[in-house]
Structure 1
Amino acid sequence: MTALPQTQTSRIINTLRRQIAGGSLAPGHKLPAERELAVLFDTTRITVKDALSMLEAEGLIYREERRGWFVSRPRLIYNPVSRSHFHQLVHSQQRTAETQVLACESVVASGELVADMGLAPLSRLIRICRARRIDGRTVLYVEHFLRPELFPDIEQQDLSRSLTDLYRQQYGLEYGRSRFDICPTAARGEAARVLNLAQGSPVLAVSRINYDQYDRVIDCDREIWRHDAVRIRVESRHTH
């Protein structure tokens, strides 16, 4: 039986996929410019862009604004139910982690946060914004919204450290239960800028409402992940 001929797009995809799988194109390797790939494969830039977009959707490559296309590094295995903090999680997978504090300010809670956190209308929250890196690459933009009455003078603390540890050591608060929402979305505004993504690029959003040991809502985390950098894995427990 005669095999169907490959389209130009599938030829590019299969060639790059094989070279990535074989290690010829190693994680972090910068791909040739789209114009060069078009010449190499004797096709148009539109066809090259289609092929690269499909490989990006698979998480095999990623694009950075004004820098080009790169081979993706292994995804971080992330269980959002786990209480491991970011640096601990990354180090446990033999990777390096960094956190940069971008902002700490008092804000009026949005209508969505008022509803999600059970607040009075026009309540104020402390907003902490951070960028987080794995192996030197920014992969996570996160906003934390804290109830200010529970965290006096928190702006004077080292906010690049684990907030889990900070809550426990400085404020005597332990995380209890949490409520999660996980969904794919599009990068917008500050998140796109920090993650070096074009506006509208695919990202994974993880939103978490956290309660303390007294079952009080204490904060809300909103994480925006580069979609090629993370794999969500949650193990269920068998109960009798």
Structure 2
Amino acid sequence: MDTKKIGQHISRQFNDEMEEIRNKVLTMGGFVEQQIDLAAQSFINCDQELAEKVIQQDDMVNHLEMDIDHECTEILAKRQPAAFDLRMLIATIKAITDLERIGDEAARIAKMTIRLENTEYYHEQYHEIQHLLEMVKDMLNGALDAFARLSLDEVASITCQDQKVDREYTSIVRQLITRMMEDPRHITRTLDILWTARALERIGDHACNICEHVIYMVKGEDVRHISQDELEKVVSR
């Protein structure tokens, strides 16, 4: 975190409140990353017990979101912050919403694991799913690092990576549709795998959203719904 951005307030208590929120966001981010890893392990190994753990721990992600949201709202009401502090609080509220939704996607993958227990067709998709998984994990890790350091050095490359994730997802969808057409007996199982791939693709989207929130904090510019080229210009200014 750029300490020049935080810690310059007259009120020591205000400094502590802002730092506490920052730390809680990073804690939530780390926990969500762990959820993705556990969900991935359960999927790859068809581990039902691990999948159940992911689903149960989703409540912890929800509680973290509510706790941080409440603290941000209280600071907005009491401190009436402006400039960077205001942008940080607004962006934080949005970022934790994305993190909570990533947690939901991890839980969704765990549920698909339970549905696909002991199916040979499930294991045929291992390599495609694993590649997509690694891509979105890298994106999320980079987005959280950018948030922690308030650094825009990598955000453009992370958002650009999302285009590769979309292409990979489209390729998986085509393969799965082909297999369903070749053997309709596997339609139900294939659809479960398809939803797992969709969950991973959505995690990549949420990682991009977090990058956009970081840009808003640092630059004060809303980069939602603009092209990759336009985003890169904002970042480089």
Give your verdict on TM over 0.5: no
Structure with greater proportional helix content? 2
TM-score (norm 2): 0.25
TM-score under structure 1 normalisation? 0.25
Bigger relative contact order (CA 8 A; separation at least 6): 2
More strand by share: 1
